[in-house]
Structure 1
Amino acid sequence: MTLPPPSFGSAGEHRLQQYLGTAHRAARFYDQQVRPHLTPEMRDFIGRQAMVFLATADSRGECDASFRAGPPGFVHVIDDRTLAYPEFRGNGVMASAGNVIENPHLGMLFVDFTHHHVGLHVNGVAHLYRDWDLRSIHPDLPTDIAPGRSPEMWVHLTIEEAYIHCSKHIPHLEPSPRPTGRDAARPKDSDYFTEPRTTHHPGLP
């Protein structure tokens, strides 16, 4: 039986499906699970999430994975084909946003670790907007997302596909208050993964 050309997925995954004999299973998944827009259930799911994992790549295909977090709803669903999330002041590197300038394809993975133990992939084309520019287009963007902090910019995503990440192997995590005060035995973030620096004094051995 010849399958119709799939409407979702990359050429590479389709070739591998043919090689491994999974094309029929994959076709069922595309048909039953993958959508070119957000369903009402997906929109509700995103509105409940307090974190998301990001995948970007630059124009040469060099990849970067990152993470964003905020109060539930910090990723704002504009409509069933569009969402946006804020970028706040960080370390100044702008790795994810910089990749979007070169290559606008963005992958997002939302995972519910605490209740239903399911994930949602959202892939699409991203553009960067300054806060006031996006608000002039979408005045219903949330305000005071992080008290005392204002977005430097927004990442605006036009959705191309959205689909489930099944619950198998997603661990259960229990939310707990973040400890107050600093653990003296814990290195500062800026030193956590760095090697100790040695100070060189000219003229000394």
Structure 2
Amino acid sequence: MEEHVGADDGRPGSAGEHALQEAHGSRERADRFYREQMSDHLNARMREFVGRMEMVFVGTADSGGESDVSFRAGPAGFVRVLDPRSLAWPEYRGNGVLASAGNITENPHVGLLFMDFVRDLIGLHVNGTSSLISTSEFQERYPDQEVEADIPGRRPERWVVVHVEEAYIHCSKHVPRMVPVRRGRSWGTDDGRKKGGDAFGVAAERGLGPHRRDAAEQPVSTRIRHVEES
């Protein structure tokens, strides 16, 4: 299993977590977790789990360690398991900021969290190194993968490919159960209202855009409801 930079004595994890384990007397529990739950690849159950997930949280950082977490969603299986040690997902046209992609160009390390809030109430952490490749290169490398099957009418601008270094469980004891509700999703829209508008009132506070100046005083839940009902 590949180790974090700074890890000592051949154990998984970072030097920082090892130091805290010693300070708080949790090394024995940590070693049991490393031994029983941490894998350097996606086993069959993990691959099945990823294959039915409709969302993933993506953690990245730039070369200076400034971090960012983002959210990706799509039809079940939009994150492709390419083999037990690699997975990939498509990146579509968004707000143009490219925060996650930009971080990956500086620092390839990524942390993924898949959560099942509906059936198993469990999570899966996947840590590894990533790279950005074009759709044409993805097709050349993985000719058995469909590149336009996930969202009709939309073509990925690029793909993120992750080499898996660690995969382990996120325990279920505090995971809330959620009930899916059907809703229309405006994939790829540039309609500001359908994208959430100025839900947190930042533009309104600055007097920017077509947003009402009193929007900053309106509760977020109310503004989002208005967007979804429009």
Fold-level similarity (TM above 0.5)? yes
Q: 2:121 aligns with which of 100, 117, 120?
A: 117
Looking at both structures, which has the greater relative contact order when contacts are Cα pairs under 8 Å and sequence separation is at least 6?
Answer: 1
Match of 1:46, SS?
A: helix
Q: Is the Cα–Cα contact under 8 Å of residues 76 and 142 in structure 1 kept in the other structure?
A: no
Equivalent runs, 1:57-72 vs 2, <5 Å: 57-72=61-76
Q: Deviations over 1:16-37 (max 9, x none)?
A: 1011110010000000000000
1:190/1:13 CA distance change after superposition, 3 Å: same
Segments of 4+ moved more than 2 angstroms: 4-7, 186-190
> TM-score, structure 1 length as denominator?
0.88
Q: Deviations over 1:108-130 (max 9, x none)?
A: 00000000000000000000000
Separation in 1 of the partners of 2:194 and 2:45? 42
Q: Is 29-38 or 144-153 further displaced after alignment?
A: 144-153
Q: Which runs of 5+ in 2 are unaligned?
A: 1-7, 187-192, 209-230
Q: 2:198 aligns with which of 181, 186, 191?
A: 191
The aligned counterpart of 1:32 is: 36
Per-residue deviation, 1:142: 2.8
Identity of aligned residues (%): 53
Match of 1:115, SS?
A: coil
Q: Which runs of 5+ in 1 are unaligned?
A: 200-205
Per-residue deviation, 1:80: 0.3
Question: Which amino acid is 2:165 matched to?
Answer: E
Question: Which amino acid is 1:173 matched to?
Answer: M
The aligned counterpart of 1:7 is: 11
1:135/1:167 CA distance change after superposition, 3 Å: same
Per-residue deviation, 1:189: 2.5
Q: 1:46 aligns with which of 30, 46, 50?
A: 50
The aligned counterpart of 1:92 is: 96
Q: 2:156 aligns with which of 151, 154, 162?
A: 151
Q: Deviations over 1:44-89 (max 9, x none)?
A: 0000100000100000100001000000110000000000000000
Per-residue deviation, 1:179: 6.0
Q: How many residues align?
A: 192
**Match status 1:164 vs 2:169:** yes
